[in-house]
């Protein structure tokens, strides 16, 4: 085994030890988690994903701009539509469940939806936007629109199968929609966008409205037949390199790790209220199995232990450049004071946590996925493979 592989293996074991939860342990949102003994594995025939760029596998590349090199260099050896050098969490989920990588619903070339579909779009929010993509960088495909796209896929799949269309073999059956896993990872952009124009208290005031939108979509999916939900909380926004770079440090603003504490506190409040919402939905949707997944704790632990795990400074960006004066996106180039600056990649993405200042690298995603898949960071503590089991 090579030196790099040994280092990676040691890092994975170290993170596993760091993030191991005792029975009924505390979550990153400060709420006690239920310890559940589950032995019944599920057989998910498909997965349907809703979210933002953290799980977008090509929606924006199909709709707005093509993905460019060096994105994709670690796993695909070419751009794959992901804002990453390799795989996202949703890709590792698909691998764990023996499902194919999810095709974006809006991709017009070669999609096969037999194993599910991806509706996530980079820049998406839970609340609908009133600006175009070019005006504000926010995707028009907010969570409610993604749910409408899902309904369209379901109806057209049923019609096409009943009509015996030649491509019916590439579409999910009606039973697949009921027995599928529904993953949701969204909310980061709602908070991040608000930080740019609101005080922290004002951002907090928007949380109930944001979560009301998420609740409505979960309920609508339920009435469309969805039963198994895997719902991510939001990550430590204050630890994103872009957040740290573009918010001048103030007294008491930077925590011991180097993150913007006030932004993380708002994210934690969002997560606390999201967890309460998931608990409420369990009572209101009697046939649903809803799992709340503490992504925040996994990401914050990885960042706080970066150097011990063999990573470089977690606030360093592998691909692209960002300073207070200019941004050069990953794979792009820009003239700065007469000099062409290119958004090239670092020499070894395996040693970085941040791919482009906002999104995580393939290696970071893999290490986070390992902790999430086993259920130790979830409430109830159910592994991904058993997420169809209703508890409580």
Annotated catalytic sites, by residue? 53, 356, 359
Q: Which one-letter DSSP state was computed for residue 53? A: T
Distance between terminal CA atoms of the chain?
Answer: 45
Which residue is listed with tokens 């309460």?
276
What totals of helices (H) and strands (E) does the chain contain, helices first?
12, 10
Q: Which residue has the tokens 């999430």?
A: 372
Alpha-carbon span 338 to 317, nearest angstrom: 23
**Strand, coil or helix: what is 122?**
coil
Structure tokens at 351: 């040693």
Q: How many CA atoms lie within 13 A of 336 on its CB side?
A: 14
Whether residue 317 is preceded by a cis peptide bond, meaning omega within 30 degrees of 0, is no
Q: How far apart are CA 251 and CA 266, in angstroms?
A: 18
Contact 365, 376 (CB under 8 A): no
Which tokens is 380 given? 């109830």
Nearest Cα neighbor of 172 from 192, 147, 155, 193 is 155
Which residues is 230 bridged to in the sheet? Answer: 183, 291
Q: Are 93 and 183 in contact (CB under 8 A)?
A: yes
Phi, psi of 53 (to 5 degrees): -65, -15
The DSSP symbol for 32 reads B
């Amino acid at each position: 085994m090579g030196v790099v592989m040994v280092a990676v293996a040691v890092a994975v074991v170290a993170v596993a030890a760091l993030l191991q939860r005792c029975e009924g342990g505390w979550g990153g949102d400060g709420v006690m988690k239920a310890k559940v003994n589950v032995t019944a594995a599920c057989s998910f025939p498909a997965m349907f994903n809703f979210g933002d760029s953290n799980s977008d596998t090509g929606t924006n590349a199909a709709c707005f701009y093509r993905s460019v090199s060096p994105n994709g260099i670690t796993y695909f050896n070419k751009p794959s539509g992901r804002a990453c050098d390799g795989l996202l969490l949703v890709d590792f989920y698909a691998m764990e469940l023996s499902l194919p990588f999810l095709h974006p619903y809006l991709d017009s070339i070669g999609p096969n939806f037999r194993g599910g579909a991806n509706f996530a779009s980079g820049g998406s929010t839970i609340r609908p936007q009133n600006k175009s993509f070019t005006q504000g960088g926010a995707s028009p495909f907010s969570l409610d629109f993604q749910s409408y796209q899902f309904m369209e896929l379901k109806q057209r799949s049923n019609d096409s199968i009943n009509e015996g269309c030649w491509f019916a073999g590439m579409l999910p059956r009606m039973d697949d929609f009921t027995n599928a896993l529904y993953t949701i990872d969204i909310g980061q952009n709602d908070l991040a966008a608000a930080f740019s124009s609101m005080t922290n208290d004002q951002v907090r005031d928007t949380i109930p409205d944001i979560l009301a939108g998420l609740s409505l979509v979960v309920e609508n999916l339920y009435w469309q037949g969805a039963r198994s939900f895997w719902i991510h909380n939001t990550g430590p926004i204050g630890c994103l390199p872009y957040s740290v770079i573009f918010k001048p440090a103030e007294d008491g603003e930077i925590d011991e790790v180097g993150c913007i504490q006030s932004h993380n506190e708002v994210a934690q409040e969002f997560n606390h209220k999201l967890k309460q919402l998931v608990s409420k939905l369990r009572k209101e949707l009697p046939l649903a199995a809803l799992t709340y997944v503490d992504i925040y704790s996994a990401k914050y632990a990885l960042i706080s232990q970066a150097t011990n795990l063999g990573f470089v400074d977690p606030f360093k960006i592998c691909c692209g450049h960002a300073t207070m004066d200019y941004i050069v996106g990953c794979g792009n180039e820009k003239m700065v004071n007469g000099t062409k600056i290119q958004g090239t990649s670092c020499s070894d993405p395996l040693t970085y946590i941040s791919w482009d200042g906002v999104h995580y690298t393939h290696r970071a995603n893999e290490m986070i996925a390992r902790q999430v898949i086993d259920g130790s960071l979830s409430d109830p503590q159910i592994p991904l493979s058993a997420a169809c089991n209703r508890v409580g």
